Structure 1
Amino acid sequence: MKGLWKEFKAFAMGGNMMDLALGFIIGAAFAALVESLAGNILMQLVAAIFGKPDFSNLSFSVNGAELKYGAFLTELLNFLLLGLVLFALVKAMKKLGLGNFRAQGSRECPFCKEFVPVDALKCKFCTADIDPEQVEDEDEHIVVSRTKHADG
């Protein structure tokens, strides 16, 4: 039992678990901040334009059932504004060189069928030039020069 407790303590206090916990806490705080920006500033701009901070009261009845499409529109608008804010923040942080925003995931090389990152320009197995599924800003000139050579 003592060995099991020691192993659990090593797991719980290990780097990966602490990193995960810190990431979760910071992520929750960041989500609250972005949600506040979307709800308290951007939705208030919508209220200034349309005269209402939300559309929750909009509804209609069908066979006695009330369809509250206004609540759905409000949530949809909140989601779109939140996504827009997050997209803008990530683009700004990427431009400033903050954080690690490399593409995640892998795909199959069309030549050797080995798995390579989605933003790979060259297969690390067969060394063939491949078109990336996601082009990073710093790699865009390589893809453009390839298409110029292929066309000309």
Structure 2
Amino acid sequence: MWKEFREFAMRGNVIDLAIGIIIGAAFGKIVTSFVNDILMPPIGLLLGKVDFTNLYINLSGKNYSSLADATAAGAPVIKYGVFLNSIIDFIIVAVAIFLVVKQINRLKKQEVAAAPTTKECRYCKSEISIAATRCPFCTSELLDTGRPLK
């Protein structure tokens, strides 16, 4: 059983998947930092110096000066500013993944092999045109018997 598990785990696809998950997690951290530290501050400034991480709805009825104060007091709050940041994170990651997959698919389409233009003469093994009915090297007549020529 251990041998089977080791063979499964060492297959290329499993290792590739593990590497992808690790890189994806690191990419997620970069995107979160980009949204929280670079993208949202200018947007908040344009909207009247709003810090999106401090946007919340207090459900307790008491007044708190910030989300940190409300959370420290144990007040029930709806953190819609944090939720907005998460939505923006998701959109950026989704667009990035879409662009990567689109490029991979474009490259795969280019890799499609072209139809063969030559075949091998079954008598002298020379490479000849696929449309040839007689080999130009050994002059054998090439009758199409339905069998593959190679």
TM-score by length of 2: 0.49
Higher RCO, Cα 8 Å, sep 6+: 2
What TM-score does the superposition give when structure 1 sets the normalisation length?
0.48
User: Of the two, which has the highest radius of gyration?
Assistant: 2
